[in-house]
Amino acid sequence: MSVQQAPQSRVFVELVPWADRGRENYLLSGGETQPGLRRPLSSAQTQTATREVHVSGTAEVSATPDRAQVVVQMSSTKEAAAEAKKSVCRRLDYITQTLQQQGVQSENVTVTKDFQRVENAYHMEAEVCITFTEFGKMQNICNFLVEKLDSSVVISQPQFYHTPGSIENLRRQACVVAVENAWRKAQEVCNLVGQTLGKPLLIKEEEMKEWEGQIDDHQSSRLSGSLTVQQKIKSATIHAASKVFITFEVKGREKKKKHI
């Protein structure tokens, strides 16, 4: 009586650490493939898998306005047209001469004039729009014109603002500082666990926010025209905050060779 031989068993999968996580097949004995499981790699390939540290970094920076605009207005109403023009032009010439003496560039000064007939008289208005980059000089010039011309001119409150280039620089600065903070964090973590920080593998800015500075409740309850120059500058200050996410490569520290 013959004994029936048991069928031979076959090994389909060997459990080893995975390094290539993008493969979705495994080998059957005989070279066939079966979908649904990943194919294991050798232990040598597993040891060369990249080690990473993931960190986030934030930063907030601010910039005061870099421009201010002041408008000086003057007018005159006379029965004779020449008298109305002469009255306005005399003050206008004095203002433009003062600006030149104080070093204000002509491209930062805009003059507009309007002349019209009003009932039985002639009315002339002139407006000087001045853009300042030095706020101390702006205050000195405005104070001087008030002292010399008194009520014959009307000087507006300064309007502070940012040029487009300064805002873009502020955004870049916020991002760069956030990246620097993330790098320092990753450096300290690697030092703590006895590893060496490698090159960045991914840098991503996740969030960027901007807002204007706000004066406190007590100041905001007051009329905006009564605010001091410093309060106006503070209110026009722009803040920018950036949040970044960075993945760094992590390297083991090399052992120092002992010299015999």
Contact 39, 13 (CB under 8 A): no
**Vertex 224, ends 218 and 225: CA angle to 5°?**
130
pLDDT for 58-101, tens place per residue?
Answer: 999 999 999 999 999 999 999 999 999 999 999 999 999 999 99
Question: Residue 55: what residue type?
Answer: V
Q: How far is CA 71 from CA 110, 129, 131, 145, in A?
A: 9, 5, 9, 12
- pLDDT level of residue 259 (50, 70, 90 thresholds): low
Number of structural domains (the chain) is 2
CATH code of the domain covering residue 247:
3.30.110.170
Reduced to 3 states (helix: H, G, I; strand: E, B; else coil), residue 241 is: strand
Residue 144 in tokens = 């001087």
In a domain, residue 24? The reply is no
In this structure, are 156 and 166 located in the same domain? no
pLDDT for 202-243, tens place per residue?
Answer: 999 999 999 998 655 445 545 555 788 999 999 999 999 999
Task: Tell me what percent of the chain is helix, strand and coil, each rounded to the nearest 5.
Answer: 35, 35, 30
Range of the domain at 128: 67-160
Please state, in angstroms and rounded to a whole number, the distance separating the CA atoms of residues 24 and 34: 9
pLDDT score of 22 more than 50: no
Question: How many of the other CB atoms lie within 10 Å of CB of 132?
Answer: 19
Please state, in angstroms and rounded to a whole number, the distance separating the CA atoms of residues 201 and 198: 9
Please state, in angstroms and rounded to a whole number, the distance separating the CA atoms of residues 176 and 1: 86
In this structure, are 72 and 134 located in the same domain? yes
In this structure, are 174 and 155 located in the same domain? no
Share above pLDDT 70 across residues of the chain, in percent, rounded to a whole number:
74
In this structure, are 183 and 248 located in the same domain? yes
In this structure, are 96 and 147 located in the same domain? yes
In this structure, are 57 and 75 located in the same domain? no
CA nearest to 102, candidates 68, 134, 129? 134
